[in-house]
């Protein structure tokens, strides 16, 4: 996947223009406070370029309006208008071209939607880091708005986002790629821990910006394929403090600033820069430590090869030296399973497949999609692995996947 640098705002503008061109109707902004509860939009209603709120046959319920208010969304956009009754005839004409509810989308459609989100999010983060480095511009509100949308999409399409993330090739922009993947994992962990909405948003913002201090260092230092010189290693160790100072200068919440400062601290006091231990480390920093460590283990870097998700998960589970909070590690395992979503595996039946969902009762036995097999209804065949039935033998090596 080749990712060009541009902001998500541009994507929204392009989406509005696309809708306008296709329907020859001007896309309008509708204040949420003015939309009648129970009304039906005559055309699809959008939150932004990546998120569909309601199709013409879906009522704009009081519950939906309340959710938008809770997430502090002030407006939506649509090429149609809110009506008292469902415009059945008009909706029927577009039914075949507009798949909106997750239950109506095929797995391939959901994968495409996840890919579109991931690509747009990556572009946004690249543009954000460039904006901070060159223009010295950054606001909590603007980042929080993107995290709100990301939280909703990750909640709805978690298993597809993780599959897309697993299959996404290494990106030359290390900081943006690491930030996106770590943020998605951190949001998943935070959701498992049932953090309230406002704290989940803060966590997402903190995860997205936890390495922001790196922009003050020469790129050749953190992207180097060679062994770093002593002075360069010392420079790398300063990035948490640099990140804290950057976020503080832009009046970010203290909880977010501390997460950037403490994400390399470890439970046993072996981290940096303050060598904090246990409860002295903030919750967001504990979550980000696990999320970005897992991401780093399972992603290729200029100086190392990636481990498969299973090996990376086992390494975190070992928790050598008790570096990580056990509750956070457990949340990661139960959210992604020991064989993480997106991992290609060999089954005890001799078949090959891909892990597509977790088993909430037992993270050792996830749900696997079998390669080359369909159900009678034409959908991809999935299998619940188990101790007494078909189980996972091992992850597949990269060269084995192509022969699946």
Highest mean pLDDT among 67-71, 139-143, 316-320: 139-143
**Distance between CA atoms of 372 and 385, rounded to whole angstroms?**
17
Of the listed ranges 40-54, 65-79, 207-221, 224-238, the one predicted with least confidence: 40-54
Residues of the chain with pLDDT > 70, as a percent, come to 79
Which burial class, exposed, middle or buried, applies to 134 when counting CB atoms under 10 A from its CB (0-12, 13-18, 19+)?
exposed
- What architecture (CATH level 2) is domain 106-336? Orthogonal Bundle (1.10)
End-to-end alpha carbon distance in the chain = 22
Written as six digits, the tokens of 316 are 């975190």
In the prediction, which pLDDT does 3 show?
A: 37
Of the listed ranges 72-76, 201-205, 258-262, the one predicted with least confidence: 72-76
Instruction: Quote the longest CA-to-CA distance of the chain.
Output: 71
Each residue of 272-315: pLDDT tens digit? 999 999 999 999 999 999 999 998 887 765 555 667 788 889 88
Per-domain residue ranges for the chain?
8-93, 106-336, 344-401
**197-209 vs 283-297: helix crossing angle, rounded to 10:** 50
**Distance between CA atoms of 130 and 179, rounded to whole angstroms?**
14
**Distance between CA atoms of 42 and 32, rounded to whole angstroms?**
16
Give residues with Cβ within 8 angstroms of 97, minimum separation 6.
none
H helix or E strand, kind and range, residue 370: strand 367-374
Written as six digits, the tokens of 120 are 């747009």
Written as six digits, the tokens of 199 are 């704290």
| DSSP 8-state code for residue 39 | B
Tell me what the mean pLDDT of segment 10-17 comes to: 44
């Amino acid at each position: 996947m080749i990712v060009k640098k541009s902001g998500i705002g541009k994507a929204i503008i392009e989406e509005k223009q696309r809708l306008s061109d296709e329907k020859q109707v001007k896309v309008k902004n509708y204040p949420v406070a003015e939309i009648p509860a129970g009304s039906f939009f005559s055309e699809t209603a959008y939150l932004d370029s990546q998120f569909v709120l309601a199709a013409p046959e879906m009522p704009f319920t009081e519950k939906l309006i309340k959710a938008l208010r809770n997430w502090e969304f002030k407006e939506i956009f649509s090429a149609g208008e809110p009506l008292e009754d469902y415009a059945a005839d008009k909706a029927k004409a577009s039914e075949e071209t507009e798949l909106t509810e997750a239950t109506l989308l095929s797995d391939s459609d959901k994968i495409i939607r996840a890919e579109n989100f991931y690509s747009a999010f990556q572009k946004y983060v690249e543009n954000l880091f460039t904006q901070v480095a060159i223009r010295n511009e950054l606001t909590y509100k603007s980042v929080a708005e993107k995290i709100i949308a990301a939280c909703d999409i990750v909640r709805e399409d978690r298993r597809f986002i993780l599959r897309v993330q697993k299959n996404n090739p290494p990106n030359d922009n290390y900081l943006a790629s690491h930030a996106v993947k770590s943020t998605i994992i951190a949001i998943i962990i935070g959701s498992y821990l049932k953090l309230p909405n406002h704290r989940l948003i803060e966590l997402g913002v903190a995860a997205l910006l936890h390495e922001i201090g790196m922009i003050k260092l020469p790129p050749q230092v953190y992207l180097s394929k060679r062994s770093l010189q002593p002075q360069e290693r010392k420079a790398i160790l300063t990035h948490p403090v640099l990140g804290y100072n950057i976020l503080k200068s832009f009046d970010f919440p203290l909880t977010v600033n501390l997460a950037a400062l403490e994400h390399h601290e470890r439970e046993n006091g072996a981290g940096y820069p303050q060598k904090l231990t246990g409860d002295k480390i903030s919750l967001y920093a504990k979550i980000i430590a696990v999320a970005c460590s897992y991401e780093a283990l399972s992603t290729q870097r200029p100086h190392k090869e990636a481990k498969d998700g299973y090996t990376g998960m086992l390494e975190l589970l070992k928790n050598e030296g008790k570096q990580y909070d056990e509750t956070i590690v457990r949340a990661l395992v139960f959210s992604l399973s020991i064989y993480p979503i997106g991992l290609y595996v060999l089954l005890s039946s001799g078949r090959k497949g891909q892990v597509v969902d977790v088993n909430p009762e037992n993270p050792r036995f996830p749900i696997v999609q079998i390669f080359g097999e369909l159900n009678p209804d034409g959908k991809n065949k999935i299998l619940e692995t188990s101790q007494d039935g078909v189980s996972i033998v091992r992850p597949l090596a990269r060269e084995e996947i192509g022969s699946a």
